Amino acid sequence: MHNLAGGDRLGSFSRVTFFDEFSRLPLAVLLRSATSASSASVRSSLASGVGSLSDFAALLSPAAGALLPELARRSQALTRQRFGRVIRLFAPLYLSNECINNCRYCGFSRDNPILRVTLSVADVVREARALGEQGFRNLLLVAGEHPRFVSNGYLAECIRALHAEVPSLSLEVGPMEAADYAPLVAAGAEGLVVYQETYDPIVYEAMHTAGPKRDFAWRMGTPERAYAAGFRRLGIGALYGLAAWRREALCVAAHAAYLLRHCWKAQVTISVPRLRPCAGEFQPLTSMSDRELVQLVCAFRLFLPDVGLVLSTREPAPLRDGLIPLGITLMSAGSHTEPGGYTGAGHDQTHLTQRGRIVPRAKGASEWAGTPDALTKATGQFEIADTRSAAEVSALIARLGYEPVWKDWDPALSSAFPAAQAESSQAAA
Amino acid sequence: MSLVNQPLVIAGREFQSRLLVGTGKFASPEAMRDALAASGTQLVTVALRRADLTGRKDPFANILDFIDPDRYLLLPNTSGAMNAGEAVRLARLAAAAGLPKWVKLEIHPDPRYLLPDPIETLAAAEVLVKEGFTVLPYINADPVLAKRLQEVGCATVMPLGSPIGSNRGVQTRDQIRIIIEQATVPVVVDAGLGAPSHAAEAMELGADAVLVNTAIAVAGDPCRMAIAFKLAVEAGRAAYEIGLAERLETANATSPLTAFLDAVPVS
């Protein structure tokens, strides 16, 4: 058990974690329903309002797939009801592609011979301003896990530098203790995203061959530690392509339902990333078709009406456009997955690593990055599929009859807001 | 002949319309603007988190540009605030940005049902009233809380009919009836009104006004739905002012059984 310290929710923080509940999930029974529910039981789950995990399981079945138009209709109506005709937009801002983990599917893996860089705080601000000019008021700061390059102090500095200009800041970085998260919340971050990647412990072990990420249970408890530290938006998800998608989806749904019960003040979001080509040339172990992805989005919506559903530029434009009216509430657009991708910041600072060690640069060492920029540009985490600009995506959303919403948060809501700090220092005095 | 209802008075300000409208969930700012106009509303609430409070005229957070300040009183709301401190901060910031010093106080820490936190709401109301804000708190239909908020100087109370966006109508009918009976300030039924009939029902109960957002914003034709709500609110109010007939347990024939006594002279 990891020891928790700090965070104002600690007093009421339950010692039970999702890992305990996960270990007791009747996955075999649920999976049977998810793979072989009858059409009648799908209809009965729909009629009952999809209140239970077994109802959700039925919605993942091939029989439910045959009822996809019906699922989509219900999902659309429910999403409009709960979220309105709006799609919120965000952009990832990669701070660093340094990493001490080896994850077989990830371009940033320690042993991948790629060009790496950690942006200076000034460069991070430059990138954020470029995104701000495109309209983004909601940024997801992403970094590999590397205590030396991506220290907690560095992250806090980046957040402090951006907080005044960017209304909403979320993080997707290596998992931490609640006590280490607390200063990041105090600096102005309000959301934390952490994918379990796979909820299958055997596949997890096979995929994560080195680094602190090998600890399956520790990663699983991350959203709860983040909540204890004061984060108010929690993002979870599985990376589809590692284990059987229906099994992953059941675990994600159980995880989200758990978070809604135990972290009741947090807004929970679920992402539905499918594996994309990346450095290391990893081939997905399992597949989920476009049709199944649509079914999954609808099933999540019907089981979890108030959970935000996130779609990234990993998916191609036509599929993204089709999913907008069906249940998605939050999208990225015009994304780059390499540090400095929006402005070229940090390109003069990159270095090449071989098996985790910095080596002198040699021509063609990063073949995967294979562009004219390859000698200087940091390597991305994965290839994006929807390459349209933010403006194009925003115009498309409007054409579909939805309002693209850029700003949905205000820094005044954060304890890092200057007025709040003035208040607390008055209170202390 | 048309319905001429009494005006609504909140904090000394008179409104002809008793329909307050929210601005979330619309398909576009233009759709919102047109629906507001169609609804005849004079009091429009906006989530401050959607607006630009820096004074930089942010083109990507320009919702306020679509709400004509000469036509509507803008009622900023604190949606997103999880506690009193955050709500107070937002309200102050809005006032500093030049928005009206009116605030719809919304503190709902639970993002699922958006049910208001009574403890934080009361604490924030006390602070904001003292600072000169006209405070309209969103509350659960709790008559005692309504009383407490009146005592600290709130301009209205805004009990919910059912959870925000749920379209389930006036589920809290019995509690709202008590709130109305005891109120010394206008009672605005807020949240959950999914059909014009729900709005009419709240008005017939004696609510001074209703607030509608989702049912108009996500309707297939928001403008026509806005008009439907406008008419329902006017009808419900008129019926309340005229006085509804008593409800009876048994049938009461329009031609009474004893009519013969009047028709036939009996000696």
Helix (H) or strand (E) holding A427: helix A418-428
Q: Cβ A137–B60 below 8 Å, yes or no?
A: yes
Residues 6+ apart with CB under 8 A from B100: B73, B74, B75, B76
**Residues A82-111: what's their mean pLDDT?**
90
User: For chain B, give me the number of helices (H) and strands (E)?
Assistant: 9, 10
Q: Please indicate, yes or no, if residue A2 is contained in any of the structural domains.
A: no
Give yes or no: B147 in active site.
Answer: no
- Tell me which DSSP letter residue A401 carries: T
Q: Which residues of B touch A306 (CB under 8 A)?
A: 111-112
Question: Is B167 touching A (CB cutoff 8 A)?
Answer: yes
Residue A1 belongs to a domain: no
Residues of chain A positioned with their CB less than 8 A from the CB of B28:
398, 403
CB-CB under 8 Å, A83 with B25: yes
Q: Which pLDDT value is given to residue B114?
A: 86
Place of tokens 């001429």: B4
pLDDT, residue A370, reads 46
Would the CA dihedral through A77, A80, A82, A83 be positive or negative? positive
Question: Domain of B27?
Answer: 8-263
CB within 8 Å: A407 and B110: no
Q: Is the pLDDT higher at A19 or at B257?
A: A19
Interchain proximity A135–B60, CB inside 8 Å: yes
Confidence check: pLDDT of A425 > 80: no
CB contacts of A167 in chain B (<8 Å) are 49, 61
Cα–Cα nearest to B164, from A48, A307, A83, A256: A83
Q: What's the CATH code of the domain at B216?
A: 3.20.20.70
Going by their DSSP bridges, the two strands B43-47 and B158-159 should be labelled as unpaired
Contact B26 A403 (CB under 8 A): yes
In a domain, A241, yes or no: yes
Would you state the pLDDT for residue B264? Answer: 60
pLDDT digits (tens, 9 = 90+) for B125-164: 999 999 999 999 999 999 999 999 999 999 999 999 988 7
Which residues on A lie below 8 Å from B89 (Cβ)?
Answer: 412-413, 417, 419-420, 423
Residue A48 CB: number of other CB atoms within 10 A?
10
pLDDT of residue A12: 46
Q: At A32, which CATH number? A: 3.20.20.70
In a domain, residue A185? The reply is yes
Based on the structure, what is the number of domains in chain B?
A: 1
Residues A138 and A92 sit within 8 Å (Cβ to Cβ)? no
The domain in which residue A312 lies consists of 10-428
- By C-alpha distance, the chain B residue nearest A234 is B111
**Nearest C-alpha neighbor of A22 from the set A259, A228, A234, A241:** A259
Residue A14 has pLDDT above 60, yes or no: no
A4 falls within a domain: no
Neighbours of A111 (CB within 10 A): 17
* Residue A8 confidence (pLDDT): 46
Is the model's pLDDT at B174 over the cut of 60?
Answer: yes
Banded model confidence at residue B206, pLDDT cuts 50, 70, 90 = very high
pLDDT band at B111 (very low <50, low <70, confident <90, very high): confident
Global pTM reads 0.87
User: Which residues from chain A sit within 8 angstroms of residue B53, using beta carbons?
Assistant: 410, 412
- Kindly determine whether residue A408 and residue B49, on different chains, have CB atoms separated by under 8 Å: yes
Residue B3 inside a domain? The answer is no
Long-range contacts of range B127-130, CB-CB < 8 Å, 24 or more positions apart? B127/B84, B127/B88, B128/B87, B128/B88, B128/B91, B128/B103, B129/B153, B129/B154
Residue A406, chain B, CB below 8 Å: the answer is: yes
Query: Does the beta-carbon distance from B58 to A265 stay under 8 Å?
Result: no
Average pLDDT rounded to a whole number, residues B84-95: 93
pLDDT tens-digit series, residues A132-178: 999 999 999 999 988 888 888 999 999 999 998 898 999 999 999 99
Please indicate, yes or no, if residue B86 is contained in any of the structural domains. Answer: yes
- Min mean pLDDT across A331-345, A353-367, B2-16, B241-255 is at A353-367
**With bands split at pLDDT 50, 70 and 90, how would you rate the model's confidence at A359?**
confident
Distance from CA of A413 to the nearest CA of B (A): 5
Chain A CB within 8 Å of residue B217 CB? yes
Residues of B in contact with A232 (CB under 8 A): 82
pLDDT of residue A110: 85
Contact B111 A409 (CB under 8 A): no
d(CA B25, nearest CA chain A) in Å: 4
One of B25, B104, B147, B230 is an active-site residue; which one?
Answer: B104
Task: Count how many pairs of residues, chain A against chain B, have C-beta atoms within 8 Å.
Answer: 91
Q: Provide the pLDDT confidence category of residue A11 given band limits of 50, 70 and 90.
A: very low
- On the question of pLDDT at A1 being above 70, the answer is no
Residue A357 placed within a domain = yes
**Interface contact A401, partner B, CB < 8 A:** yes
User: Percent of chain A scored above 90 by pLDDT?
Assistant: 65
Name the percent of chain A lying above pLDDT 70: 88
Which residue in B202, B145, B140, B213 sits closest to B170, CA to CA?
Answer: B202
Smallest Cα distance from A8 to chain B, Å: 13
> Residue A407 and residue B112: Cβ atoms within 8 Å?
no
Look at B60 and A412 and tell me if their CB atoms are within 8 Å.
no
DSSP category for residue A415: T
Instruction: Check whether A7 has a pLDDT greater than 80.
Output: no
Hey, which residues 286-315 in chain A have their CB within 8 Å of chain B?
A: 306
**What value of ipTM does the predicted structure carry?**
0.80
**In contact, A348 and A123? CB cutoff 8 Å:** no
Comparing alpha-carbon positions, the chain A residue that sits nearest to B48 is A410
DSSP type of residue B5: P
Q: Is residue A124 part of a domain?
A: yes
Is B1 inside any structural domain? Answer: no
Q: Is B2 domain-assigned? A: no
What was the pLDDT predicted at A424?
Answer: 58
Going by pLDDT thresholds of 50, 70 and 90, the confidence category of residue A365 is very low
What pLDDT is attached to residue A421? 60
CB contact, 8 Å: A267 with chain B? Answer: yes
pLDDT tens for each residue of A59-73: 999 999 999 999 999
A398 touches chain B (CB under 8 A): yes
Question: A364-385 burial string, b = 16+ CB within 10 Å, else e?
Answer: ebbebbeeeebbbbbbbbbebb
Residue A225, min C-alpha distance to chain B (Å): 18
Is A260 an 8 Å CB contact of chain B? yes
Percent of chain B with pLDDT over 90: 68
Question: Between chains, do A403 and B61 touch, taking CB under 8 Å as contact?
Answer: no
Over residues A380-424, the pLDDT tens digits come to 887 788 999 999 999 999 999 999 999 988 888 877 776 666 665
Q: Tell me if chain B has a CB within 8 Å of the CB of A85.
A: yes
The tally of domains found in chain A comes to 1
B34 touches chain A (CB under 8 A): no
* Chain segment A251-297, per-residue pLDDT in tens: 999 999 999 999 999 999 999 999 876 666 788 899 999 999 999 99
Whether residue A40 lies inside any domain: the answer is: yes
Looking at every residue in chain A, the average pLDDT score rounds to 87
Cross-strand pairs, B21: B44, B212
Q: Which pLDDT score, from 0 to 100, does residue B1 have? A: 58
User: Regarding predicted confidence, which is higher, A184 or B252?
Assistant: A184
Q: Kindly identify which residue of chain A lies nearest to residue B111, measuring between CA atoms.
A: A267
Give the pLDDT confidence score for residue A360 in this predicted structure. 65
- Tell which B residues from 63 to 102 touch A, by Cβ distance under 8 Å: 80-82, 85-86, 89-90, 92-93
What pLDDT does residue A227 have? Answer: 95
The pLDDT assigned to A426 comes to: 57
Mean pLDDT score, A321-337: 94
- Beta carbons of A412 and B86 less than 8 Å apart: yes
